[in-house]
């Protein structure tokens, strides 16, 4: 009897193994369209760009692309202008994340705490408007507001007897102005992520915390953060990558000026690729940007995993 | 002495009336169980006492002081939720300590209370473990322990053993029973399970459709239900109801196929529409005794505690009876039954006891 059972058992196991294999291959087949799409539009261009970065390839030159090894990278590392742009971009990124995350969390908490407030939905819709407007349109719109001659901003300053300021050509104010506009545009995104993050905290745990009279800091640390951290950190990650790529704002509002005060790395890249048509060199810059984006993602994922590992 | 008093409390969620004009008192140092089917308003009532919901109208008093608008934090209550609420990413000891840290107690006192409560609930061995690793039953014990250690004015339990597997359920029920008898604290316990209510309660408030149907001790509410609903909801099986087509009202006397002689009821007899008899209120025998009537056994089955559950027929009238195991085995198909007068309840048209 025992033998019989054992052989039956084996048969079942074998069957389930082959069944699992079949299921697995079916899963892969289902993935084919998306993998093909991803490969064609993502991996191929990336590899192409990587290849180009080792070539001297200028669209305005009649020379065919030829292999130059690490030469593009060497000139990129020696390029003072690019180095400044990279530094500036990191400063822009840091301030943008600090301002937008802080303000976004404050606004998110405000809406979360007052979920029965009248007009909440309307206020939320209005708040999210800047986020849905195309960045180029937003940039143009702010450029017009801040225009020294016919801008609404300066008109109001004049009413209060304050002299006109041309912030976009001011050496000291142009960069902060870009930051303010970026913050205006993207704080709603962080507010939305905060709302989503707070929404993921179970109501019973918050109620238990208020019944247990836990102090606010303990509530945030032991109840809110463990649930909210993933969505909030994802928001910060997305915003960081996006801020690093900011180009449209400075192109439209200041064109990198005055001087190179608002020249961000993505704008430099745009100039090398589509003004100077130096595709080899701009590909090297792109590879650098890709490296930064991947590093940021890895850092965030590492931080989150580390925390959850510690908790486990 | 009163601890909590609700005065004309109503709660409406849009068009849904969750609580209708409830006036109710919860005495100090007693276990009050709010019992009723799902959607009867028992949890809403508890949440109003906790301050987690505001009543649409009415007042809540704690020790004769109005507390209707006092925020939850200042009510000094403890609450155990349906799903075990634990503070994740911390140890069991830390979970039990957390609320005590804001009570400004000395370190020794905190340790003493945590150890005592852990001992009481049998979770001492888990004190160093991370809460995330534990099963739901132990997590719920931690949630209970956290509230007990704080020693609040009152502890609310919202169906605490509903979402726990069966073994842990029995264990937790036993722990709670022991805990309640030791604590001598004001406790409100919400459940839809009559066994839990009968085991744990000093008084049961039976609720239906946002109203309290009856509030009495478990034995009183079982023996003398004030409504058909109370008779039906409590007991396993629920009370047998004999509807008016099987009742003969002759002047002030009430007769039925269940008993050989009419029961004199006085002037109230005219109001009676339904008779109620509990399954164990019917005595069954193989032989005829004085005052017994004959019945036929339609079916026999073994019920909880080894007792036999009988389906008896008196002509077209069928009722359920419960008899001890030894008797149930001996019974033949045709039996003789008697029902003592004190085992018969009378209800009017609206289902209220006469």
Is A147 found in the same domain as A30?
Answer: no
How many angstroms separate the CA atoms of B200 and B191, rounded? 11
At residue A307, the pLDDT reads 60
Give per-residue pLDDT as tens, B92-104: 999 999 889 888 8
Please report which residue ranges of chain B form alpha helices under DSSP H: 42-50, 92-101, 107-121, 136-150, 166-183, 194-200, 218-223, 228-233, 325-330
What element of type H or E holds B5? strand B2-13
Lowest-confidence pick of A2-16, A295-309, B9-23: A2-16
Averaged pLDDT, B125-139: 88
Count CB-CB contacts under 10 A for residue A216: 9
Lowest-confidence pick of A13-22, B31-40, B157-166, B220-229: A13-22
How many angstroms separate the CA atoms of A148 and B283, rounded? 102
**Residue B295, SS3 per DSSP:** strand
Could you give the percent of chain A with pLDDT greater than 90? Answer: 29
Q: Flag whether A61 is in a domain.
A: no
CATH of the domain at A142: 1.10.3720.10
- Which chain B residue is nearest to residue A202, measuring alpha carbons? B85
Q: Flag whether A66 is in a domain.
A: no
Is A9 found in the same domain as A146?
Answer: no
Beta strands B65-66 and B57-62: pairing type? antiparallel
Whether residues B102 and A215 touch (CB distance < 8 A) is answered with yes
Yes or no: say if B78 and B152 are a contact pair by the CB < 8 Å rule. yes
At residue B52, the pLDDT reads 92
Does the structure show a pLDDT above 70 at A12?
Answer: no
At residue A75, the pLDDT reads 86
Q: Flag whether A296 is in a domain.
A: yes
Q: Flag whether A142 is in a domain.
A: yes
At residue B181, the pLDDT reads 84
Does the structure show a pLDDT above 70 at A295?
Answer: yes
Averaged pLDDT, B148-172: 86
Partner residue opposite B146 with nearest CB, options A202, A204, A212: A212
Q: What's the whole-number average pLDDT of chain B?
A: 88
- CATH 3.40.50.300 in chain B, residue ranges: 2-224
Please report which residue ranges of B205-346 form alpha helices under DSSP H: 218-223, 228-233, 325-330
| Residue corresponding to tokens 């142009």 | A174
How many angstroms separate the CA atoms of A218 and A226, rounded? 12
How many angstroms separate the CA atoms of A229 and A226, rounded? 6
The number of C-beta contacts closer than 8 angstroms across A and B is 57
| Residues of B in Cβ contact (< 8 Å) with A222 | 87-90, 98
Is A223 found in the same domain as A101?
Answer: yes
Does the structure show a pLDDT above 50 at A1?
Answer: no
| Residue corresponding to tokens 């704690």 | B62
Count CB-CB contacts under 10 A for residue A16: 10
Give per-residue pLDDT as tens, B73-99: 888 899 999 888 998 888 999 999 988
Residue A232: closest CA among A276, A198, A272: A198
Confidence of residue A71 (pLDDT cuts 50, 70, 90): confident
Could you say which architecture CATH assigns to the domain B2-224? Answer: 3-Layer(aba) Sandwich (3.40)
Residue A228: closest CA among A236, B129, B146: A236
Report how far Cα B226 is from the mean position of its chain's Cα atoms. Answer: 15
Give per-residue pLDDT as tens, A16-53: 556 667 778 888 899 999 999 999 999 999 998 898 88
DSSP class of residue B312 equals E
Where in the sequence is the domain holding A105, given as residue range(s)? 74-311
- CATH 2.40.50.140 in chain B, residue ranges: 240-347
Report how far Cα B42 is from the mean position of its chain's Cα atoms. Answer: 11
At residue A18, the pLDDT reads 61
If DSSP states are collapsed to H, E and C, what string results for chain A?
Answer: CHHHHHHHHHHHHHHHHHHHHHHHHHHHHHHHHHHHHHHHHHHHHHHHHHHHCCEECECCCCCCCEECCCHHHHHHHHCHHHHHHHHHHHHHHHHHHHHHHHHHHHHHHHHHHCCCCCCHHHHHHHHHHHHHCCHHHHHHHHHHHCCCCCCHHHHHHHHCCCCCCCHHHCCCCHHHHHHHHHHHHHHHHHHHHHHHHHHCCCHHHHHHHHHCCCCHHHHHHHHHHHHHHHHHHHHHHHHHHHHHCCCHHHHHHCCCCCCCCCCCHHHHHHHHHHCCCEHHHHHHHHHHHHHHHHHHHHHHHHHHHHHHHHHC
Yes or no: say if B198 and B189 are a contact pair by the CB < 8 Å rule. no
Q: Is the entire prediction scored with pTM above 0.95?
A: no
Residue A85: closest CA among A246, A225, A274: A246
**Residue B2, SS3 per DSSP:** strand
Q: Distance, in angstroms, between A97 CA and closest chain B CA?
A: 27
How many angstroms separate the CA atoms of B108 and B86, rounded? 23
Most confident of A18-22, A57-61, B320-324, B329-333: B320-324
Please count the CA atoms within 13 angstroms of the CA of A276 that sit on its side-chain side. Answer: 13
Averaged pLDDT, A200-209: 90
Does the structure show a pLDDT above 80 at B59?
Answer: yes
| Residue corresponding to tokens 């925390």 | A307
CA distances from A173 to A76, A180, B172, B282 (A): 29, 10, 67, 94
Is A207 in CB contact (< 8 Å) with chain B? yes
Q: Distance, in angstroms, between A268 CA and closest chain B CA?
A: 46
Is A211 in CB contact (< 8 Å) with chain B? yes
How many angstroms separate the CA atoms of B282 and A64, rounded? 106
Does the structure show a pLDDT above 90 at A97?
Answer: yes
CATH fold of the domain at B240-347: OB fold (Dihydrolipoamide Acetyltransferase, E2P) (2.40.50)
β-sheet bridge partners, residue B277:
B240, B344
Phi, psi of A17 (to 5 degrees): -65, -50
β-sheet bridge partners, residue B242:
B275
Yes or no: say if B67 and B47 are a contact pair by the CB < 8 Å rule. no
- Angle of helix A152-159 relative to helix A135-145, nearest 10 degrees, comes to 30
Is A205 in CB contact (< 8 Å) with chain B? yes
CA distances from A259 to A168, A175, A256, A285 (A): 11, 11, 7, 21
Whether residues A222 and B81 touch (CB distance < 8 A) is answered with no
Q: Flag whether A84 is in a domain.
A: yes
Is A9 in CB contact (< 8 Å) with chain B? no
Whether residues A311 and B98 touch (CB distance < 8 A) is answered with no
Give per-residue pLDDT as tens, A126-184: 888 888 888 899 999 999 998 888 888 888 888 888 877 888 888 889 999 999 999 99
Averaged pLDDT, B250-265: 84
Q: Distance, in angstroms, between B145 CA and closest chain A CA?
A: 12
Give per-residue pLDDT as tens, B280-298: 899 998 888 888 898 999 9
Q: Flag whether A149 is in a domain.
A: yes
Confidence of residue A101 (pLDDT cuts 50, 70, 90): very high
Q: Distance, in angstroms, between B95 CA and closest chain A CA?
A: 10
Is A146 found in the same domain as A198?
Answer: yes
How many angstroms separate the CA atoms of A203 and B53, rounded? 13
How many angstroms separate the CA atoms of B182 and B143, rounded? 18
Does the structure show a pLDDT above 50 at A192?
Answer: yes
Q: Flag whether A205 is in a domain.
A: yes
Yes or no: say if A70 and A54 are a contact pair by the CB < 8 Å rule. yes
Is A212 in CB contact (< 8 Å) with chain B? yes
Confidence of residue B171 (pLDDT cuts 50, 70, 90): confident
Strand ranges across the sheet with B154-158: B77-80, B154-158, B186-191, B31-35, B203-208, B211-216
Q: Give B287's contacts (C-beta < 8 A, 6+ positions apart).
A: B336
Does the structure show a pLDDT above 70 at B23?
Answer: yes
Lowest-confidence pick of A40-54, B27-41, B155-169, B215-229: B155-169
The domain total for chain A is 2
Averaged pLDDT, B205-230: 92
Q: Flag whether A60 is in a domain.
A: no
At residue A308, the pLDDT reads 61
Give per-residue pLDDT as tens, A251-276: 998 888 788 888 888 898 898 888 88
């Amino acid at each position: 009897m025992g033998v019989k059972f054992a052989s039956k058992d084996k048969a079942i196991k074998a069957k389930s193994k082959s069944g699992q294999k079949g299921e697995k291959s079916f899963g892969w087949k289902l993935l084919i369209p998306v993998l093909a799409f991803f490969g064609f539009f993502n991996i191929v261009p990336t590899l192409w760009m990587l290849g180009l970065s080792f070539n001297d390839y200028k669209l305005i030159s009649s020379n065919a692309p030829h292999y130059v090894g690490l030469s593009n990278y060497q000139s990129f590392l020696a390029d003072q202008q690019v180095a400044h742009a990279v530094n500036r971009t990191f400063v822009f990124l840091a301030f943008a994340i600090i301002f937008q995350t802080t303000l976004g969390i404050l606004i998110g908490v405000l809406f979360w705490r007052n979920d029965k407030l009248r007009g909440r939905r309307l206020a939320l819709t209005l708040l999210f408007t800047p986020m849905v407007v195309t960045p180029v349109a937003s940039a143009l719109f702010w450029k017009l507001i801040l225009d020294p001659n016919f801008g609404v901003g300066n008109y109001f300053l004049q009413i209060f007897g304050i002299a006109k300021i041309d912030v976009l050509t001011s050496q000291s104010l142009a960069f902060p102005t870009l930051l303010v506009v970026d913050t205006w545009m993207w704080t709603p995104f962080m507010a939305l992520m905060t709302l989503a993050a707070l929404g993921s905290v179970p109501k019973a745990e918050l109620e238990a915390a208020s019944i247990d009279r836990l102090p606010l800091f303990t509530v945030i640390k032991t109840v809110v953060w463990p649930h909210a951290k993933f969505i909030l950190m994802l928001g910060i990650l997305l915003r960081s990558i996006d801020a690093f790529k900011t180009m449209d704002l400075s192109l439209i509002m200041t064109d990198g000026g005055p001087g190179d005060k608002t020249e961000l790395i993505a704008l430099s890249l745009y100039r090398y690729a589509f003004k100077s048509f130096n595709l080899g060199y701009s590909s090297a810059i792109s590879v650098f940007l890709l490296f930064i984006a991947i590093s940021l993602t890895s850092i965030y994922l590492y931080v989150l995993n580390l925390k959850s590992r510690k908790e486990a | 002495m009163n601890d909590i008093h609700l005065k004309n409390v109503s709660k409406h969620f849009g068009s849904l009336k969750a609580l209708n004009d409830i006036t109710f008192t919860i005495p100090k140092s007693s276990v009050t169980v709010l019992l009723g089917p799902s959607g009867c308003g028992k949890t809403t009532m508890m949440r109003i006492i906790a301050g987690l919901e505001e009543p649409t109208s009415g007042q809540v008093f704690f020790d004769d002081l109005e507390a209707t608008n006092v925020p939850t934090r200042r009510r000094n209550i403890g609450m155990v939720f349906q799903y075990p609420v634990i503070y994740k990413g911390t140890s069991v000891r830390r979970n039990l300590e957390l609320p005590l840290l804001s009570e400004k107690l000395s370190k020794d006192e905190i340790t003493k209370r945590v150890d005592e409560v852990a001992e009481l609930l049998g979770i001492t061995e888990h004190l160093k473990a991370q809460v995330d690793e534990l099963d739901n039953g132990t997590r719920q014990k931690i949630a209970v322990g956290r509230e007990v250690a704080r020693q609040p004015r009152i502890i609310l339990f919202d169906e605490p053993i509903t979402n726990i597997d069966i073994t842990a359920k029995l264990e937790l029920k036993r722990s709670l029973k022991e805990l309640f008898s030791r604590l001598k604290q004001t406790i409100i316990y919400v459940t839809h399970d009559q066994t839990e209510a009968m085991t744990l309660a000093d008084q049961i408030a039976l609720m239906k459709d946002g109203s309290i149907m009856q509030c009495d001790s478990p034995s009183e509410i079982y023996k003398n239900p004030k409504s058909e609903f109370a008779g039906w909801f409590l007991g396993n099986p629920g009370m047998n109801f004999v509807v008016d087509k099987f009742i003969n009202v002759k002047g002030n006397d009430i007769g039925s196929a269940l008993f050989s002689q009419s029961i004199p009821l006085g002037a109230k007899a005219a109001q009676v529409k339904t008779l109620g008899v509990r399954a164990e209120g019917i005595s069954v025998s193989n032989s005829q005794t004085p005052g017994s009537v004959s019945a036929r056994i339609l079916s026999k089955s073994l019920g909880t505690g080894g007792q036999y559950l009988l389906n008896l027929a008196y002509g077209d009238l069928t009722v359920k009876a419960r008899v001890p195991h030894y008797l149930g085995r001996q019974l033949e198909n045709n039996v003789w039954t008697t029902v003592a007068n004190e085992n018969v309840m009378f209800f009017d048209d609206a289902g209220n006891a006469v």
